[in-house]
Amino acid sequence: MPARTPAATGTVTPGPYQEGKQIDLQVYQSHSPDLSPSERVTATIRKVLSMTMSPVLDVTIVTRHGPLAPIHCVLKLYDRRFGTSLRSDYGSKLVPYQANEVAFQTFVRRGMMAEFLGQLKEANETEDLLPPAPRQFLDDTPEGRAKYEAALWRESNEHFRCETEAYKRLGNLQGKSLPRILAEIRLVAVDDMSNDTPADIPPEAASYFEVRGILLERIDGYNLEDIATSPLAPADDLMKWQQIIQSAVDIVHEINRYGVIMEDCAPRNVVVDKQSQTPYIVDLAQCNFRDELAKTWHKWKWHESDDDWDPDVEYWEQVDSEDNTGAIGAVMVHRVQRETGVKLEIKYPGYTAIISGIQRRKAEAAAGTQEGAARV
């Protein structure tokens, strides 16, 4: 997986995730026969792939019982302390966590996290309001700095929950359209620097200082957005490019069919395997799930406002509005046309037809039910 360019600028103390560093991890949920639950493993960083929202690292893993050869994979850590986009303020300047850490630890020790997280949850579930972004809490007061870190912790934790849930729901696509998830882990130490909970933190609050992560199958290739310039892509083969882009669009539609809508969908989140030229979606940290959306819609009582309202129709209208397929296909068509002067032809799902099909099948089912009742 290729590296990405940081989105924010500014000066910040270098983080511990650097090439050549060793990271101690503990597996607590294994999805691979090579990794056992609760085992400690050592990862050596070969390359930093991304530091935008989460540290994403190309690593080799040495296990204490598994294969003799190290496992070459990708480690993604949901660490609120690092991320050029995650930790940017309104001026796109990086906000170093070190300046806020004492305030954050005091905030946690005083037992203020639970109430604050409850307030964020309530704001997130309010129909008419957008939830506050972490940067909205940031000011020069200890409380503002603490709430900023607390909101970042919640955001990172939600990204972890979302991504692991997405891989679970999309299990049939792993190894075909998505990398395989190998394990869920927690960070123990980086080059002998412990990640232990600070002193005097109550045991029930220890999770606020835990860094979770996932180990993923490594896809050796290039970002879809670089198809016109990467030496790993088919050189000047517009028909092959069209096939690859169409495959990426079809994969995104299949993900939508599984009840998953991606909030961060872009060509940069697609890696194309250099051998098979097969595209893989590699970032699922920001998603919505159909059943969770339906619960929210019922909580907001949308079903009471319109007798014809249908959650399945609503879902596909949301899919149409988010336009995951266009976020990949249309963007790549424009990029290739800009680079070559040729406009590729990409086929997109017909959402109007999908919605009409849902309505027709339900109307036919209702008519059949009424006919059966009349016969009785």
Write out the chain's pLDDT in tens, 376 residues.
554 433 333 444 468 999 999 999 999 999 999 898 889 999 999 999 999 999 999 999 988 766 567 899 999 999 999 998 999 876 668 899 999 999 999 999 999 999 999 999 888 877 666 778 999 999 999 999 999 999 999 999 999 999 999 999 999 999 999 999 999 999 999 987 788 888 889 999 999 999 999 999 999 999 999 999 999 999 989 999 999 999 999 999 999 999 999 999 999 999 999 999 999 999 999 999 999 999 999 988 888 888 789 999 999 999 999 999 999 999 999 999 999 999 999 999 999 999 999 999 998 887 776 655 555 4
Query: Which pLDDT score, from 0 to 100, does residue 82 have?
Result: 93
Query: Which pLDDT score, from 0 to 100, does residue 308 have?
Result: 85
What is the Cβ-side half-sphere exposure of residue 76, based on CA atoms within 13 angstroms? 26
Query: Which pLDDT score, from 0 to 100, does residue 368 have?
Result: 72
Query: Which pLDDT score, from 0 to 100, does residue 374 have?
Result: 54
Tell me the angle at which helices 290-299 and 311-322 cross, rounded to the nearest 10 degrees. Answer: 110
Backbone dihedral angles phi then psi of residue 169, each to the nearest 5 degrees: -70, -25
Q: Where are the domains positioned within the chain? A: 22-217, 221-371
Dihedral angle sign, alpha carbons of residues 262, 268, 271, 277: positive
CA 97 to chain centre: 22
Query: Which pLDDT score, from 0 to 100, does residue 375 have?
Result: 54
Closest by alpha carbon to 24, among 55, 45, 54? Answer: 45
As a whole number of angstroms, the distance between CA 246 and CA 284 comes to 20
Beta-carbon contacts of 331 under 8 Å, excluding residues fewer than 6 positions away, are 225, 266, 267
Q: Are 139 and 260 in contact (CB under 8 A)?
A: no
Query: Which pLDDT score, from 0 to 100, does residue 66 have?
Result: 60
In CATH, what number does 221-371 get?
1.10.510.10
Give the Å distances, CA to CA, from 179 to 209, 220, 239, 273.
28, 11, 25, 11
Q: Are 245 and 232 in contact (CB under 8 A)?
A: no
As a whole number of angstroms, the distance between CA 237 and CA 340 comes to 11
